Every structure is written in C-alpha cells, then in structure tokens.
Structure 1
Amino acid sequence: MSLRRLSVVVAEDSALYRQMLLNVLQRIPGVEVVGVAADGIEALAKVVEFQPDVLTLDVQMPQLDGLGVLRELRRRGSRTKAIMVSSLTAAGAPTTVEALLEGAFDVVPKPVGVDPHVARVAIHEALVEKLAAVADTLLGPTATEGSAGPAPDRVGSRAIDAVAIGTSTGGPQALRSLIPALPADLPVPLFVVQHMPAGFTASLAARLDDLAPLRVVEAVHGMPVTAGCVHVAAGGWHLTVDRQREAVQCVLDAGPLRLGCRPSFDSLLESLVPVYGSRLMAVVLTGMGHDSLAGCRVVKAAGGFVVAQSAAGCTVYGMPKAVAAAGLADAVLPLESIPAAITACVRGRSPR
C-alpha cells in the first residue's frame, strides 16, 4: 500500500516488540522510521529532535508512561499523531482508553499468546490502516468540506425517540466532549458504535459514565434498552436491537465483519429503523471509512433525522463526509453544537 510519505518515531521499552515494529514499518511503502526510544523521556526528546508525523507509543514504559508522554506533547502543542500500541491487560486497556480520550490518534493492540508471524501480520495490517488515516488528515479538508450548514426546520413537533451515534478514529475524544454535555433527564435511549478492538469498549463506557450525567454502559446480550442510558457497542460484536412485545433489548452478534468493522454502525441503524422509524436520529462523528452510509440511507428512507459532524473538528473526515456528500445529512454541525441539536430534536424542536 502506497502512503503519503510519513516520518515515524517508535517508542517501545520491549526490545522484542521494538524490533517487530521496526521490521513492520520498514515494509510499509512511504514510511520512514527516523527515531527509536526505549522510554517516555527519550520519546519526548526524539519528537523534539525529529518532529515526526507519527509516534507509535507503548502504554506502559519506564521513566514516563505513554499517557504522560501524550499529555506532555499536548501541553507543548505538538502536531505529532500518537498511535498507542497496547497490550489488552487489566492495566493496559483503561490506560489506553484514557489516552484516546486525551487525544491519541488511534490504538493498535499487541497480539498476545500467538505465533510471532501471526503477530507481525496483525500489527502490519493495523498500522497500514492507521497510517493511511494519518496521511489523509495531513492533506486536510477542502474549504467546502470544512463548512458547517444549518439544520432545516423539519423536526417540527415530532420528537425523537432514540439517538444512535457512530464514530471511529478520533471518536473517544469526540464522545468525551459530546456525551457529558447531554442533560441527565434526556428521556430517550442512546446507542454508540465506536470502532475499537474487543476489550477496550468496557473501559470506554466506564470512563464516559464517570464523566457524564447520563448513565453509560457497555451493552450486553439481552440487556433491556433503557431511556436516559447510553448503550455502547462491545468491541468485536455487532450491536443490534430487537423488540419483544413492548420491550426493546440489545442483541450482540458475532457475525462477519462489515466494511471491516465489528461493531458496525450500519448494522445498528438498520436494526433501529424497524423499532423507531421516523423517530430515530443518527449522528455521524469523526471516523475513517463509510460505515454510516448504508445505515443513514435506511434512516432517511424511514423519515428519520441525520446529523453529520463538520470537517473542521474531525480527526478523520471519512464517515461524516460520506453521509454529507450523499445528501443524507439534515444538518452538518461542529461537534460543540451537536449536544444541543440532540436535545432539541428529542424535545421536538428544530436543532438551530
């Protein structure tokens, strides 16, 4: 895969994984490793020295851990994109999620307990995808893509009964801004699909629950759908819903990947439309790819309401761009305006 030329610093305290990352990155066209660090302090020094496009950052390192490095980079106003390389452990997952909430670009899980060749292939595939996304962000949106449009007055007196939010790269930080800004008395269920490896979404839900007035949970199979609760799709599972008489419940499905994603936002939306119809609101936030397009077509066909995040605040303007470019967005809004738009729609007002 050919990428825009990217400079990379590798920060990893394990000599084994450090060499594996170097071997993998050297095989990706257009990528140049300009520096290597074995601890957090050295990582900061290498970023200052080389000003790389990307820093691959281990979560747990001596001297200064990955989260500490990330916070210091933000304090200094660094433009380097940090990709967290994390083991899925009791300590690693919450720290990695906190790093994503703090603005890390994305995460690549370290395969554990597998053949070294299998691990290399998995890391290679993940890094090719993440680095392609970084290259896209460095090109920047066009002026037209960066503009936000007002929402037309088409909600009227019809209140929204459910809200579904889909996001990928940059999503944790966007959710950290959006979810805590929603009122505690919002009288509808909310659903979130965040593209994230299995094992990390429980930590994401727990952290958002700490921050938000609303209750935030990782959805489990058979869980009743509850008003005033944010149901976060579990990594590695498609989240859909099913109506049983008067009750709606969460359904987890380990079916095939869809557009390379599981959970799939398209699958969630397609299951919500038969239950909520025109009273469904879909919100598409920052993310790579177009897992949103097919589902929003179904939402629009049923008379539902679609909001896309404007380009200017997106880490990657992919998912919302696909929806807006297809003419499916009733409103294209900056992230900071979306909580008020959701609240207005739920209460039957135009989201102006």
Structure 2
Amino acid sequence: MSIASLTGSPAGAAVAQADPIKVMLVDDAVVVRGLVGRWISDEPDMTLVAAHRSARDAVADITRQNPDIVILDIEMPDMDGITALPLMIAAKRDLVVVMASTLTRRNAEISLKCLSLGAADYVPKPESNAGVTTSPAFKRELIDKIRALGRKRRIGTRFAHAPAAGAAASAASATTRIAAPSIVPHHHAPHAFKTRAFNPTAPKVLLIGSSTGGPQALTAVLRGLGSILERVPVLITQHMPPTFTTILAEHTAKATGRPAAEAKDGEPILAGHIYVAPGGRHMLVKRTGTTPVIHLDDGPPINFCKPAVDPLFKSAAQVWAGAALGCVLTGMGADGSHGAGDIVTAGGNVIAQDEATSVVWGMPGAVAMAGHAAAVLPLDQIAPKIVRLFSGDRS
C-alpha cells in the first residue's frame, strides 16, 4: 500500500463522485460560509449538504441532511459550538465534528475540551475573515482533515462519542484533562506489514509523535506509564499551533502529576520531565558535553508541519542511538516515518498505534508500512508495552 493511500488522498474521481463525503458547515460569518463552502464544493470527493449561520438551526437539520462531517465554529451568537456539539452527536451518534476556532487561549481551552466531549479534531482559523480568504494553509488543513476523517468513517470505523466517565459531571474537571477516544474497531482486511525484532538496548528516553486524535491518545498513553514517568524524560511533538501547545502542556501536567511544559531552547533534558514542542517551532535534541539539551528551530515546515515529528526523532537518534524509544500515535500524513527509520538505523525501537484505534491511521500507518515498527498495538496496549520495555523486557 502506498503512503498516499494512508493520508486521506482521494481514491479516484469515480469513487469520489459515487460516494462523496457529506459536509455541513456552521459559521455565523457569511464570508466564511461562502468561501469555505466553495472550497468544499470544488473537491470531487466532497459535497456541501448545508451551510448554517446558526448552530441552533444546524442541530435541527442534522437528521434531515445526515452529514458525515460538521465543521463547527466555536463563537456564535445564538448557541456556541461547545453547547451545540453534544446536541449534534445526540442527533447522530457516528457524526464526525471538527471544531473551528481562532488562536486565542480561551478558544484553545474550549477546543481541547470539545475533544474530550466527542469532537474528532479542530482546525485553527485565521483571526479575521480577510485572513481566511488569504490563507492557503488554512484551506489545505481544513480540506485534508475533512478528507482523512471522512474516509476513515467510510471504511467502517465509528467514533463512539460518549464522554469519558466523569467528563459531563464536572465542567471544571473536563477542562483539565483530555479523555481517551473510544473507538469501535472495524473488520475490513488488515494491511500487510511486517514488524521487526526489538533491539535489546535498554531505552533511556521516550519520544512521542502525534497529530489528528493525538491529544486524547497522548493522555491515554501517559496516564498508563505510572512510575516510568519519574525515571525518564518524555519528549512530545503534537501537530498544534501556538497557544494550543501551551494548553496541551498544562493539561498533560495535570493528567500525569509530572512537570510538563512547552520546551525552551537550551534547557537540559531531565528524567521525570515532559517536554512539549511549542507550536510554530521544531523541537530537536542536541548534546552539550554529556548533557542532552533542547534545541528549538524556526526553519520552514517539514511535511507541511511545524512542529514536525521527523526532526525530533532524527536528532534524538543521533543523541541516544539505541537507547531511543519512539512512539507514533494517530495522525494524518506520514510525518515521523523518516525519523522512525533514523531511530531504527541507530539501534533504537519504535512502536506504532494500530489502525483500529487510530482516529486517522496516516502517521502510524506510514511507520508500519515502512517496516520501522517493532510493535503495532491498540491504544490501550501501548503504555503497558512501554512500561515493560523500560522495566527490562526486550521482546
């Protein structure tokens, strides 16, 4: 299978036209509805079934239009996105909802809370309507996410959107954690890939890369690591813009009880600490004397991403060699695959999330199909495997 088939690219015009992804757009700005609506309508594998300025009207129209995906603005006058989200999911249990918000701290908090309440993903909007019209990056990200999430749903996976236990009981607690996704496995033919044997070198660092669906998966893995988090450093690259990574680090600290923050250029990498790549900068590792340190790079996007996983994995392989353990979780695209190859070449090990539990099996799928993974595991088995590896298991 080609990498393109894992990243959400159209399978062909004939298939696309026969079974297009049905999209509902909900935004109170007429400029956004008009422009984004045209983008969607111009794609051969998508169709715009409705565009609403009112979230209340959109909720009422879910059953009639039966969309596959809703692009839902957060800030609207009659009903905001976080209020509309559970009502939409109640109207259609397998609905995929992508939140749209500008890059404010408040909206970042709300977007991450929406993930814990059933949204599949988010897309950051430019701060002005004029910015929407002039941002090719926003268009590309939005269309790519519609395509990847829509195709994921079409091949049989369904998001079980019920909030994690306790999420609805306390708004305060819901804002301080990100629930693991509940995903029903599908049963189509598995992809053919081979895993490699684990290298026997004991790992000294955990490196995690993730994208679409990543915040929920990250929390699930980190919470399962227990005392391992006290003994090793953890470096995370999650595809997120500025402000969002700040909130993600804060949530991670609360979820794990360990020091977690956006990484700072030049700071030493210490056991027991969690370092999150800041939005808009690549996080790499360098060695100063005998001490590994963080290096932040403001170079161009890699794999259309900034931060990207590949530079973290590549640099970590150079610093820790066979003692590097990489983990690639759910996400669109193929970022992390080349870096995973660098880790393996240096003697380290890589674990990838499996397809059934991935929101999008792009990044982990690329790693698996390239033959870099020593294990391809369901989400709930990844943390136990990492614990065993750090505890001396080499199989």
**Under a length normalisation based on structure 1, what TM-score does the superposition of the two structures give?**
0.90
Q: Equivalent of 2:134, from 104, 109, 119?
A: 119
- 2:32 aligns to what SS in structure 1? helix
Q: Distance in 1 between matches of 2:204 and 2:106?
A: 38
Q: How far has the Cα of 1:200 moved from its partner?
A: 1.3
Indicate whether 1:139 and 2:155 are aligned: yes
- 1:86 aligns to what SS in structure 2? strand
1:301 — aligned with what?
345
Count of aligned pairs: 348
2:354 — aligned with what?
310
Q: How far has the Cα of 1:43 moved from its partner?
A: 2.5
Please say which of residues 88-97 and 107-116 is displaced more in the overlay: 107-116
2:176 — aligned with what?
none
Q: Distance in 2 between matches of 1:250 and 1:230?
A: 12
Indicate whether 1:349 and 2:393 are aligned: yes
1:280 — aligned with what?
324
- 2:105 aligns to what SS in structure 1? coil
Q: Distance in 1 between matches of 2:87 and 2:219?
A: 20
Q: CA-to-partner distance for each residue in 1:234-292, whole Å, 9 max, x for gaps?
A: 12111001111132211110112111111111110111012111011011111111112
- 1:47 aligns to what SS in structure 2? helix
Amino acid at match of 1:300: V
2:381 — aligned with what?
337
Q: Equivalent of 1:229, from 273, 279, 285?
A: 273
Indicate whether 1:248 and 2:264 are aligned: no
Indicate whether 1:164 and 2:204 are aligned: no
Amino acid at match of 1:143: A
Q: Distance in 2 between matches of 1:190 and 1:214?
A: 11
- 2:134 aligns to what SS in structure 1? helix
Q: Distance in 1 between matches of 2:277 and 2:116?
A: 17
Q: Distance in 2 between matches of 1:161 and 1:35?
A: 51
Amino acid at match of 2:363: M
Q: How far has the Cα of 1:339 moved from its partner?
A: 0.8
Q: Distance in 2 between matches of 1:15 and 1:114?
A: 9
Question: Which residues of 2 match residues 189-204 of structure 1 at below 5 A?
Answer: 189-204=233-248
Q: Distance in 2 between matches of 1:75 and 1:308?
A: 32
- 1:42 aligns to what SS in structure 2? helix
Q: How far has the Cα of 1:155 moved from its partner?
A: 5.5
Q: CA-to-partner distance for each residue in 1:309-343, whole Å, 9 max, x for gaps?
A: 11110111111111111221111111001111111
Q: CA-to-partner distance for each residue in 1:57-78, whole Å, 9 max, x for gaps?
A: 0112344422233334455662
Indicate whether 1:220 and 2:268 are aligned: no
1:181 — aligned with what?
224
When the two chains are superposed, the root-mean-square deviation of aligned CA atoms in Å is 2.6
1:59 — aligned with what?
74
Amino acid at match of 1:246: T
Q: How far has the Cα of 1:98 moved from its partner?
A: 2.1
Please say which of residues 124-133 and 313-322 is displaced more in the overlay: 124-133
Question: Which residues of 2 match residues 95-110 of structure 1 at below 5 A?
Answer: 95-110=110-125
Q: Distance in 1 between matches of 2:119 and 2:248?
A: 14
- 1:224 aligns to what SS in structure 2? coil
Q: Distance in 2 between matches of 1:256 and 1:336?
A: 35
The runs of 5 or more residues in structure 2 that have no matched partner are 1-8, 157-185
- 2:248 aligns to what SS in structure 1? helix
Q: Distance in 1 between matches of 2:136 and 2:289?
A: 46
Q: How far has the Cα of 1:227 moved from its partner?
A: 1.0
Cα 1:71–1:349, aligned 2, differ >3 Å: closer, same or farther?
Answer: farther
Cα 1:77–1:211, aligned 2, differ >3 Å: closer, same or farther?
Answer: farther
Indicate whether 1:6 and 2:21 are aligned: yes
- 2:342 aligns to what SS in structure 1? helix
Are the aligned partners of 1:111 and 1:119 in contact in 2 as well (CA < 8 Å)?
no
Q: How far has the Cα of 1:118 moved from its partner?
A: 4.3
Q: Distance in 1 between matches of 2:313 and 2:142?
A: 29
Cα 1:318–1:185, aligned 2, differ >3 Å: closer, same or farther?
Answer: closer
Q: CA-to-partner distance for each residue in 1:28-63, whole Å, 9 max, x for gaps?
A: 333222123333332322222222011000112344
Q: Distance in 2 between matches of 1:216 and 1:102?
A: 23
Indicate whether 1:129 and 2:172 are aligned: no
Q: Distance in 2 between matches of 1:31 and 1:77?
A: 19
Are the aligned partners of 1:259 and 1:291 in contact in 2 as well (CA < 8 Å)?
yes
Amino acid at match of 2:123: V
Cα 1:50–1:264, aligned 2, differ >3 Å: closer, same or farther?
Answer: same
Q: CA-to-partner distance for each residue in 1:175-209, whole Å, 9 max, x for gaps?
A: 12112222145311111111122331111111222
Q: Distance in 2 between matches of 1:52 and 1:58?
A: 16
Q: Distance in 1 between matches of 2:67 and 2:226?
A: 40
Question: Percent identity among equivalent residues?
Answer: 33
